[in-house]
Structure 1
Amino acid sequence: MFNERFLPHVVALLVALAPIALTGPAHAAADCPRKDALGTSRVLEVDPATYPRVGLKSFPQTLPLQDHEVVLTFDDGPSPGFTDKVLAALSAECVKATFFVVGRNAADHPEMVRKIARLGHTVGYHTWDHPHLNKLPLDQAEANINQGIAAVEKALHGTPSTIPSTPFFRFPYFESTPDLLDHLEKRGIAVFGADFWASDWNKMTPDEELKLVTARLETIHKGILLLHDPQQRTDNMLPAFLRYLREHNYRVVHIVPAAEKTVSDRTH
């Protein structure tokens, strides 16, 4: 029988172990070929009604991440060769990411969009041709967003549709406007900014990018990370970055849409 005299000691031990449970390395999924891989720590359902705009670089709110949790996001693809290399690095560590896809690229390479989805990653939207939406008339900006959504939907499902199957969108250059933000919120589409980024649009070596992004991560300890899969320096840096996450007890969170009753309000 359990001796109640030991109860305070058991409680103290559990309290002491709690931080370890929170910050320890994530275990790879049962079907992951590498048991020492980084793995995906958890899946986070994102409801646009609760989180209409996230990312502290642009908005006052971000996702409810715990310390040492990172959401990986990639913009501007798909790009054959480049995106393939990113997907291979993610698969090697058994982690899932979110790809904000440019519609024109999806139309040119629909098989790549399907590959991203088939591997279990989340597909979001990034306009038709990556314009400066804040410099366009409202109707043209909305049309560009819808054209991008339709192209991605056609790549995924064979039929163009302006009703997004995944209600996640990111503005090119993070250049939103109040009218466009209101428009997307009314449609039930969540707008993603970022909490930190690798500045991989600037010329640098993969090693320099790794030092930059890890230094920024160590400052904030968690967040939504913006990367670009068509950037060769990022593709070359990614395996080392994922290894850094694993070795420093970071955990990758995969974001997916929350279960919804209807998508009819996204059509206008």
Structure 2
Amino acid sequence: MRRHRAASRLIGAATALLTGITAANATDCSRKDALGTSRVLAVDAKNYLPVGLKSFPQTLPLADHEVVLTFDDGPRPPNTQKVLAALAQECVRATFFLVGKSSAEFPELVRRIAAEGHTVGHHSWSHPMMSQISFEQARKDIDRGIAADERALNGTSSKTPLTPFFRFPYFDSTPATLDLLQSRGILVFGADLWAADWENMTPEQELKKVIEQLEITKKGIILLHDPQARTAAMMPAFLRYLHDQGYRIVHLVPAAAPAQTRAEGAPH
């Protein structure tokens, strides 16, 4: 109960801090006490096996108190914008795994995610369970989702993503779909922890849940869902918690993007 009340106070204080703040360019950080982006990690499928301990035996080489923020299932107004505003307020960069159907519906929001310095990954076209459909159906859904994301970003459809990052819906991969992505040089992401924000809970309960996970792991790839209103409401308080507890944000980029390999944002 004490932790729940503390989470509620954090939510309220951080939301008040964010009120009236519009999303700023993540490279501009006027707030001296912002969480910031500590370092940039360039990764690719050539040098990394699929990562994320909830699904695979290995994860990213993160130090103690280093976290990677990832978001699935967007873009979806208005909550994706609220998440972006919270990240911009703290000068934090994240990775968004987008559903192609939503990218096709809200291409301007896809471009905003990229313009604010975040990494755009892929999450299929229609969010199916890959093990419940044929390999050919899975391949087509993966390709269509990537093409929709690329079209929203660059105006041209392509099955070869500029950012070769993919996360399976429900983490439901098969040996054949894993081999397919590996053969194309696309790195597959799982996660190390999550707040289960797809469940019916309050923002305060979600904050408590993710904090409990971090108290165990002390680091890792965190999975959240930007279309969820509870997550959008929780984000300012969660980012403040990370700042106050000495966590450092690691931003993922493709290894083929050398211009982005230097640390950006206001360091903690």
Please report the TM-score for the alignment, with normalisation by the length of structure 2.
0.85
CA contact (8 A) 2:104 2:148 kept: yes
What is aligned with 1:201?
A: 198
What is the 5 A alignment of 1:127-166?
127-166=124-163
Give the Cα–Cα distance (whole angstroms) in 2 for the partners of residues 82 and 202 of structure 1.
Answer: 16
The Cα shift of 1:220 comes to 0.6
Structure 2 residue corresponding to 1:107, chosen from 88, 104, 108: 104
The Cα shift of 1:134 comes to 1.0
Structure 1 portions without partners, runs of 5+? 1-28, 262-268
What is the 5 A alignment of 1:214-229?
214-229=211-226
The Cα shift of 1:30 comes to 7.5
The Cα shift of 1:31 comes to 3.1
| Equivalent residue letter for 1:234 | T
Q: Secondary structure at the match of 2:159?
A: coil
Q: Does 1:68 align with 2:65?
A: yes
Q: Does 1:85 align with 2:87?
A: no
Residue 99 to residue 260, structure 1, CA distance change in 2 (3 Å): closer
CA contact (8 A) 2:36 2:92 kept: yes
Give the Cα–Cα distance (whole angstroms) in 2 for the partners of residues 185 and 243 of structure 1.
Answer: 37
- Give deviations 1:87-120, integer Å, cap 9, x for gaps: 0000000000000000000000000000000000
What is the 5 A alignment of 1:173-212?
173-212=170-209
What is aligned with 1:57?
A: 54
| Equivalent residue letter for 2:103 | A
Residue 95 to residue 79, structure 1, CA distance change in 2 (3 Å): same
Give the Cα–Cα distance (whole angstroms) in 1 for the partners of residues 44 and 33 of structure 2.
Answer: 32
Give the Cα–Cα distance (whole angstroms) in 1 for the partners of residues 97 and 74 of structure 2.
Answer: 7
Q: Secondary structure at the match of 2:38?
A: strand
| Equivalent residue letter for 1:121 | H
| Equivalent residue letter for 1:203 | N
The Cα shift of 1:47 comes to 1.8
Give the Cα–Cα distance (whole angstroms) in 2 for the partners of residues 179 and 235 of structure 1.
Answer: 35
Q: Which moved more, 1:90-99 or 1:42-51?
A: 42-51
Structure 2 portions without partners, runs of 5+? 1-25, 259-268
- Give deviations 1:132-190, integer Å, cap 9, x for gaps: 11111101100000000000000000011101000100000000000110111111000
Give the Cα–Cα distance (whole angstroms) in 1 for the partners of residues 127 and 151 of structure 2.
Answer: 18
The Cα shift of 1:33 comes to 1.4
Q: Secondary structure at the match of 2:56?
A: coil
The Cα shift of 1:50 comes to 1.4
CA contact (8 A) 1:52 1:189 kept: no
Give the Cα–Cα distance (whole angstroms) in 2 for the partners of residues 244 and 85 of structure 1.
Answer: 18
Q: Does 1:47 align with 2:35?
A: no
The Cα shift of 1:260 comes to 7.1
What is aligned with 2:237?
A: 240
CA contact (8 A) 1:56 1:195 kept: yes
The Cα shift of 1:49 comes to 1.0
- Give the CA RMSD over aligned residues: 1.3
Give the Cα–Cα distance (whole angstroms) in 1 for the partners of residues 77 and 201 of structure 2.
Answer: 22
What is aligned with 1:255?
A: 252
Q: Secondary structure at the match of 1:142?
A: helix
Residue 192 to residue 153, structure 1, CA distance change in 2 (3 Å): same
The alignment of Structure 1 onto Structure 2 pairs a total of residues equal to 233
Structure 1 residue corresponding to 2:123, chosen from 119, 123, 126: 126
Q: Secondary structure at the match of 2:240?
A: helix
Give the Cα–Cα distance (whole angstroms) in 2 for the partners of residues 33 and 140 of structure 1.
Answer: 48
Identity of aligned residues (%): 65
Structure 2 residue corresponding to 1:96, chosen from 93, 96, 110: 93
